[in-house]
């Protein structure tokens, strides 16, 4: 039995003529023929990927019935068990990546316990919308990253042959808008020196502690890291080439060496502009060379034809 996945477009959808169009938010349908009858049912999702997963599950069950087997009724998977399986799947990732996933999923489990969601299938899209609304994160960047880790977890639960989550509750969640979170201007050299000098005046800071704090400030400034990332950065994570490049840029550009995340020095912007102009000039020169070559070929053809104008049309007899 083959099951066809297609879109059931709404009346006002501009792609309603193409039921194979994937990138709209219309409902998904499943269609198949069995015992001479035609069936059309809702896939109960708007995601093409989830609809395909449900179509495969139906085909597997139909195949089992054709062999005289009873499809195995899968037991509901608890959220705790799903998190354990996902964590094991991510065990080869960098430890900081694993730490972030652990933070995200621990928060999800705590919320699920408070709201009586023991099984993974009990969590709905509206539940996750309420869960997102309870976040205390101030930056949309942080909210977006938290949401993307949740999406990764639920995608795994849908694709896992053991969990087989029927639908992905994160598929239709609204993305956080990060376009308004512009990077802040960096500190000037004078402000930076004042911040570093303040480490020597903090009560209770020994000489060693003050030097470590200064090193932390320098890493945040020159590597563009947040304090929580700079505090756990290992020395081996920064290559010798990067340390050399940073020191070289500081000697060459001073306080303009690190203009801020996502920004370029004026020199780099000027160099990029000149490179674009050079590239444009190369194209123009190449075009002129081809034009001159064509003119030369036409001149030679006229010379070999006795001076008569060259034409592709045969002369009349």
CA distances from 62 to 30, 45, 66, 216 (A): 14, 21, 6, 61
- pLDDT tens, position by position, 185-238: 667 778 888 888 888 888 888 888 888 888 888 878 777 777 877 777 776 666
**Which among 25, 42, 66 is the end of a domain?**
66
**Distance from C-alpha of 232 to C-alpha of 255, rounded to nearest angstrom:** 25
CA 10 from centroid of its chain's CA atoms: 29
Answer whether residue 167 is part of any domain: no
- pLDDT tens, position by position, 142-201: 899 999 999 999 999 988 888 888 888 998 888 888 776 655 666 777 888 888 888 888
Of residues 38, 32, 36, 42, the one with CA closest to residue 1 = 32
Answer whether residue 252 is part of any domain: yes
Residue span of the structural domain in which 151 resides: 79-159
Whether 105 and 152 map to the same domain: the answer is yes
Structural domain count, the chain: 4
Bridge partner residues of 5 (DSSP): 30
Residue in the structure block whose two tokens are 């376009």? 179
Tell me if 83 sits within 8 A of 110, measured CB to CB. no
Whether 246 and 275 map to the same domain: the answer is no
Answer whether residue 314 is part of any domain: no
Whether 154 and 194 map to the same domain: the answer is no
Whether 85 and 147 map to the same domain: the answer is yes
Answer whether residue 72 is part of any domain: no
- pLDDT tens, position by position, 5-54: 999 898 889 888 888 888 888 989 999 888 788 888 888 788 888 888 88
């Amino acid at each position: 039995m083959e099951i066809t996945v297609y879109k059931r477009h709404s009346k006002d959808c501009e792609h309603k003529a193409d039921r194979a169009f994937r990138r709209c938010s219309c409902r998904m349908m499943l269609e198949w023929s069995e015992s001479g009858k035609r069936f059309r049912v809702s896939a109960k999702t708007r995601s093409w990927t989830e609809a395909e997963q449900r179509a495969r599950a139906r085909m597997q069950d139909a195949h089992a019935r054709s062999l005289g087997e009873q499809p195995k009724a899968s037991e509901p998977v608890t959220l705790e068990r799903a998190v354990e399986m996902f964590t094991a799947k991510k065990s080869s990732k960098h430890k900081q990546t694993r730490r972030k996933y652990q933070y995200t999923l621990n928060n999800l489990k705590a919320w699920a316990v408070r709201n009586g969601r023991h099984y993974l299938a009990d969590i709905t899209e509206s539940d996750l919308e309420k869960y997102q609304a309870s976040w205390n994160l101030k930056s949309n960047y942080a909210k977006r990253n938290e949401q993307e880790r949740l999406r990764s977890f639920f995608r795994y639960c849908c694709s896992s042959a053991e969990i087989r989550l029927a639908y992905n509750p994160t598929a239709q969640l609204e993305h956080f808008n990060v376009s308004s979170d512009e990077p802040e201007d960096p500190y000037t050299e004078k402000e930076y020196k004042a911040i570093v000098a303040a480490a020597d005046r903090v009560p209770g800071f020994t000489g060693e502690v003050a030097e470590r704090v200064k090193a932390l400030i320098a890493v945040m400034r020159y590597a563009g890291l947040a304090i929580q990332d700079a505090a756990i950065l290992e020395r081996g994570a920064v290559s010798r080439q990067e340390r050399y490049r940073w020191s070289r840029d500081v000697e060459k550009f001073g306080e303009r060496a690190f203009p801020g995340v996502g920004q370029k020095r004026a020199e780099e912007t000027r160099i990029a502009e000149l490179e674009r102009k050079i590239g444009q000039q190369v194209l123009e020169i190449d075009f002129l060379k081809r034009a001159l070559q064509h003119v030369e070929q036409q001149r030679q053809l006229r010379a070999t034809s006795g001076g008569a104008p060259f034409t592709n049309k045969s002369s009349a007899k």
